[in-house]
Amino acid sequence: MSCTVSAVTMMLRHRRLRVALKDTGVEITLASPAGGLPPLDPKSDSPDAQTEATKRFQADPEAQQQLADTRTLDTVRAADFDAVFYPGGHGPMWDLPDNAVSIALIQDFVRAGKPVAAVCHAPVALTNVTNDDGSYLIAGRQVTGFTNSEEDTVGLTDVVPFLLEDRLTQRGGVYSKTDDFAPYVLVDGNLVTGQNPPSSEPAAAELLKLLKA
């Protein structure tokens, strides 16, 4: 079984996800818009951001090598993989909403009936994806993502280009959330979304359920 993960900017989410997926025997391919080593958000390396999963990732030479040499997103084909997982961080807020390669890739996974998952800020990658009839992919579907209050807590409300919670709602998503920084994952068909960093591993678990179905 293969799973492709788009690693963009904040690697904390990716570290947790890779450990959760690797432990189940899933084959993982990492990709990013520019390829190579994606930029690291310094907050991901702060002591209070570390978990057992992130420590394992940092101590895993294979994982570190894979991270240092991610594929460019335009070399990823949905036909070659079983699922795609966008792990989040603030970078996607700038890099992914209008990225034509990412949009087309998600559309290909959707058309093939394959799972698409996104956590934290990464659901922004879904906001401009459309169905074949021109409607927004998330319109009428259960979704979650980083909340307005969580953005305010981290002090970046006036830094991000827009607020993810608002944009998901504007695109017709049936948005819901739980308490700030508590795990929260929604599954709507083959679409999996998680609210924040603590939702990473639960989202990976839900993705695995879909892959095993």
**How many Cβ atoms are within 10 Å of 79's Cβ, its own excluded?**
8
**CA 44, 48, 50, 51 torsion: positive or negative?**
negative
| Contact predicate 207/85, CB 8 Å | yes
Q: For the chain, what is the mean pLDDT?
A: 86
| pLDDT tens digit sequence for 184-203 | 999 999 999 999 989 988 99
Q: Give pLDDT, residue 12.
A: 36
Q: What is the pLDDT of residues 89-132, one digit of tens each?
A: 888 999 999 999 999 999 999 999 999 999 999 999 999 999 99
pLDDT for 16: 53
What pLDDT is recorded for position 1?
A: 39
CATH (domain of 66): 3.40.50.880
pLDDT tens track for 172-182? 999 999 999 99
Q: Where are the alpha helices (DSSP H) in the chain?
A: 11-22, 52-58, 61-68, 92-95, 100-111, 148-153, 164-170, 200-212
| pLDDT range class, residue 142, cuts 50, 70, 90 | very high
Tell me: pLDDT of 147 over 50: yes
Domains identified in the chain, total number: 1
- What pLDDT is recorded for position 176? 98
Residues spanned by the domain of 168: 2-212
CB neighbour list of residue 22: distance below 8 Å, 6 or more residues apart: 28, 63
Separation of alpha carbons 140 and 117, rounded Å: 17
Note the pLDDT tens digit of each residue in 15-73. Answer: 455 555 666 677 888 888 989 988 776 666 677 777 777 777 778 888 788 888 988 99
Give the pLDDT confidence score for residue 190 in this predicted structure.
97
